[in-house]
Amino acid sequence: MAKRLTFFLILIIFFSISQSYGQNFIQNVNHLPDNAVPRKVKFKQNKSGLACLPNVFYQLLSNGQIRQFTLINNQVRLDSVLMNGALSNSLAICANLNGGNFSPTFYGSKDTLNGNRGAIPTYFDGSSWVPIITGISNLNCTCTGSNLYYYSSGNPRNQNRRQINRFDGTSFTNVYDDRSKRIVSADLAMDSLGNIYFAIKNLNSLALPPVSDSIRVISLSGQQIASYPLSIDFRNSYGAFYINQTLYYGFGPTNPTYPNALLPITFSNNTANIGTPMPMPLPPSPHRGLDMAVCNMNMVTTIPNLKKEASLKLYPNPNQGNFKLSYDNNIQISSISIYDLTGRIVFHKEVNKESIELNLEIPRGIYTINIFRSDSIINSKKLVIK
């Protein structure tokens, strides 16, 4: 009898220690040493890359947990916990820029890996989160296809001036640095054409609260495409994404207008329209939302106020992959890109001709063809492969 009691006592002590260790592991994700190495995590998806599903988005919590949600009839449904222990304070879904087979995947940044120099990028290789050592402080991020962008204060203590930088997997290129404006939204969002959305206010208006005066839209190269007057109190905002031709912002419990809500914003003509906020499922206490990301972005074919400067003809359409493109040659065209419905680039070509004939071997479906001038989209056409 004494031996049996001793055995059960040992079991109780063992499970108590195990549970305590597991909780400390998740809590300590946010306090990693400067020489952190790749950290393996449990992952509930396939081994080839993230599944890009319609109407699905992801939320990163302060305990390193990534949760999957679905938008259904103007409501938010919590589907599952996709991962625990993410080595990141921000979240984007992007093609793997670092040579791995797991693609698309998560990218982010972690502020405990670079000492007092701020945050550095991290990414998930299918089994581990891997830090990428760089010399620039980066905050939240967004991506479509292989176009990954971070915004940064340049100095981790300077939150008034923020830049937007393109990341190619190893280094950064600055594309946006308007010193007259301050980015007040906690995140960037990107549509499937690569246009970047963020909320701004005048830099000389530094008094709290951080209330926006407009939503700005820029191209891949940082050129302004549109600006929509909009006043929103961005206190306790933590994430953004673009899906179904709608921009969404996530707000935490202390926002005075949209507490614990997902706020939709649509655009028409010169106007940004605020929709009905949707309640977000609460994270486990005491944790909070850090960022949001989306993988499958339903294709948009135009951006409001986009000037169609070049006439684009596509024929035959539908076709089986053999077709001809022709456009006005009085405007300098730099390139043509073709996107599938997830925003992935399936074809890209630099051009300097009045017309081009293509013979593509791509699956049947609906695609969008965009023509560019210096990374700015100046026309789009829908392509149907039958």
- One domain for residues 211 and 277: yes
pLDDT for residue 13: 44
pLDDT for residue 346: 78
Alpha carbon of 111 to those of 21, 89, 91, 136, 384: distances in Å?
Answer: 23, 7, 13, 11, 45
Alpha carbon of 248 to those of 173, 185, 251, 354: distances in Å?
Answer: 26, 11, 10, 39
Whether residue 184 is contained in a domain is answered as yes
Place of tokens 């990107």: 190
Whether residue 18 is contained in a domain is answered as no
What is the 8-class DSSP label of residue 211? B
Could you give the angle at the alpha carbon of 43 between the alpha carbons of 39 and 49, nearest 5°? 100
Q: How many CA atoms within 13 Å lie on the side-chain side of 337?
A: 20
- One domain for residues 334 and 241: no
Whether residue 19 is contained in a domain is answered as no
Per DSSP bridges, beta strands 39-40 and 271-274 are: unpaired
pLDDT for residue 77: 95
**Could you tell me how many residues make up the chain?**
386
- Helix, strand or coil for residue 91? coil
- One domain for residues 248 and 333: no
- One domain for residues 243 and 361: no
Whether residue 24 is contained in a domain is answered as no
Instruction: Name the CA radius of gyration of the chain, rounded.
Output: 23
pLDDT for residue 355: 77
**Out of 175-179, 343-347, 374-378, least confident range:** 374-378
Place of tokens 């292989």: 146
Whether residue 301 is contained in a domain is answered as no
pLDDT for residue 43: 57
> What is the distance of C-alpha 63 from the center of its chain?
19
pLDDT for residue 197: 95
- One domain for residues 326 and 275: no
Q: Which two tokens stand for residue 217?
A: 């839209």
Whether residue 80 is contained in a domain is answered as yes
- One domain for residues 340 and 277: no
The last residue of one of the domains, among 267, 294, 321, is 294
- One domain for residues 258 and 344: no
Mean per-residue pLDDT of the chain: 78
Tell me the per-residue pLDDT of 271-328, one tens digit each, with 9 for 90 and over: 999 999 999 999 999 999 999 999 854 444 344 444 455 577 888 999 999 999 887 6
Share of the chain above pLDDT 90, in %: 34
Tell me the per-residue pLDDT of 247-261, one tens digit each, with 9 for 90 and over: 999 999 999 999 999
Tell me the per-residue pLDDT of 191-232, one tens digit each, with 9 for 90 and over: 877 889 999 988 765 556 789 999 999 988 888 888 999 999
Give, rounded to a whole angstrom, the gap between the first and last alpha carbons of the chain.
Answer: 76
301 or 122, which is more confident?
A: 122
- One domain for residues 174 and 241: yes
- One domain for residues 140 and 191: yes
The last residue of one of the domains, among 265, 294, 323, is 294
Share of the chain above pLDDT 70, in %: 73
Instruction: Please give the average per-residue pLDDT across 66-91, as a whole number.
Output: 93
Give the closest residue to 63 by CA, choosing from 28, 112, 92, 113: 28
What is the 8-class DSSP label of residue 43? B
pLDDT bracket for residue 27 (50, 70, 90): very low
Tell me the per-residue pLDDT of 3-21, one tens digit each, with 9 for 90 and over: 454 544 444 444 443 443 3
Residue 332 lies in domain: 312-385
Max Cα–Cα distance, the chain, nearest Å:
95
Domain count, the chain: 2
> What is the distance of C-alpha 221 from the center of its chain?
17
pLDDT for residue 152: 77
Whether residue 119 is contained in a domain is answered as yes
- Residue 292 pairs with which residues in a beta bridge? 59
- One domain for residues 253 and 148: yes
pLDDT for residue 162: 73
Whether residue 26 is contained in a domain is answered as no
- One domain for residues 237 and 358: no
In one letter, which amino acid is 230?
A: L
Instruction: Please give the average per-residue pLDDT across 61-81, as a whole number.
Output: 93
- One domain for residues 83 and 208: yes
Is the predicted pLDDT of residue 111 greater than 60, yes or no?
yes
CATH code of 102's domain: 2.120.10
CATH code of 332's domain: 2.60.40.10
pLDDT for residue 280: 96
pLDDT for residue 306: 44
pLDDT for residue 278: 97
The answer to whether the beta carbons of residues 101 and 121 sit under 8 Å apart is no
The last residue of one of the domains, among 260, 294, 328, is 294
Question: What's the pTM?
Answer: 0.69
